[in-house]
Amino acid sequence: MADLNRCPHADNCGGCSYQGVEYEYQLSNKEGEVRGLFIHAELEPDKFDSIEGCPEAYHYAYRNKMEYTFGDMVKDGPLCLGMHKPGQFMSVTTVDHCQIIDQDFNVILRYTLDFATERGYVKYHKRRHTGLLRNLVIRKGERTGELLVNIVTSSQGEFEEEAWKEGLLALSLNNTIVGIMHTINDSVADKVTCEELRMLYGREYYIEKIFDLTFKVHEFSFFQTNVEAVERLYSEAIELIDDFSGKNVFDLYCGTGTISQVMARRAAHVIGIEIVPESIDAAKENAEVNGIENCEFICGDVFETLSASQEMPDVIVVDPPRVGIGDKAVEKIAAYAVPQIVYISCNPKTLVKDLALFTQLGYEITYVKPFDNFPMTKHTECITLLTRK
């Protein structure tokens, strides 16, 4: 496979840190970083497997979601739409030639930026909390070619919704726009928060296929960023469990219930716990769509929900966000003393912190394998099997 040409945005965009770097070196470096974290934490897995590279790592637009920010590169400069410059909170660079996304994303970004510039719209100022334009969010169903487009603004001014929508629908795209929306966000926090959602066209979800299951992914619910890679990661993670037959499984930090539903076809019963209400709603809806009746989904903090529950698991799978599990939840999970725990991690630093506590609480690290699901970036995922001593 040929290397990607160096991205024209590489010097100013904080998205990819391995631009122009040979892929084998990326893999070697990422594996070395993970191994180094384990050595530093004095953790010795029974087996540490080699890193698994991303399928079709080059010329493969693997990201199915982008959250762009409106801003400028220099103070009072031309309006930009894209990513923050590394280490500069206020600087934004336009990224309309990004190589790790579907090229339809670039087309939609450029159209939206031109639309806003022609009308003289101003960015939302993060420190003064004034202005109109905040974010553009694009999501795609990799297996279905369905697109969602969401403009995020403050309520400080009028945005020409109808004209923007009609222009989007007139674009020549390889995929199909199934939903266009306008989110109003007056929160001072620098993140996409939905205080009001205006549907301008279609629906607020896209359809995705993973394994042979169907998932409705709503605009504000979490879903895996690289569908091709995560399907392989989940397959290997599940195979670490000796046997699901007749067992009660806890899927903690379950998101939209993807791996819950895969396990449910072999387990007696699966309980998924997730703190994001939109994700739990989607999980319940998707289980119904797929005809899976032995999944139960609970919305709540993992530690608090487990503390209030009388259910007893036979197997536990955890897939926490980047902040990891945390000491209280680790202690609660370990107290069940199940024979096997599978830990899926998107942050090796918090993984080793949690694993260190698990080893103090009666578990040994049987197996670790890193995965490069995000080529060109600094991110690495891991699967780990913990076995009760």
| Residues annotated catalytic, as ranges | 346
What gap in Å lies between CA 189 and CA 82, rounded to an integer?
Answer: 18
3-state secondary structure 193-205: CCCEEEEEEECCE
Q: What distance separates the 2 farthest-apart alpha carbons in the chain?
A: 66
319 annotated among ligand-binding-site residues = yes
72 annotated among ligand-binding-site residues = no
Count other Cβ atoms within 10 Å, centred on residue 150: 22
SS3 388: strand
18 annotated among ligand-binding-site residues = no
Residue with tokens 């397959």: 235
340 annotated among ligand-binding-site residues = no
Contacts for 291 with CB less than 8 Å, ≥ 6 apart: none
What gap in Å lies between CA 226 and CA 231, rounded to an integer?
Answer: 9
- Specify whether the CB–CB gap between 229 and 371 falls below 8 A: yes
CA dist 22 → 28, 78, 98, 355, 366 (Å): 10, 35, 18, 32, 31
Q: Is the dihedral of CA 96, 100, 103, 108 positive or negative?
A: negative
Task: Lay out the sheet containing 315-318: strands in order across.
Answer: 47-48, 363-371, 381-388, 340-345, 315-318, 248-252, 269-274, 295-299
CA dist 98 → 82, 102, 136 (Å): 10, 9, 15
SS3 192: coil
Burial class (CB in 10 A: 0-12, 13-18, 19+), 321: middle
Q: Pick from 190, 176, 92, 110: which is nearest to 139 by CA?
A: 176
- Specify whether the CB–CB gap between 146 and 140 falls below 8 A: yes
253, two tokens:
């930090």
Mark the binding-site residues, compressed into ranges: 224, 253, 274, 319
Mark the binding-site residues for S-adenosyl-L-methionine, compressed into ranges: 224, 253, 274, 319
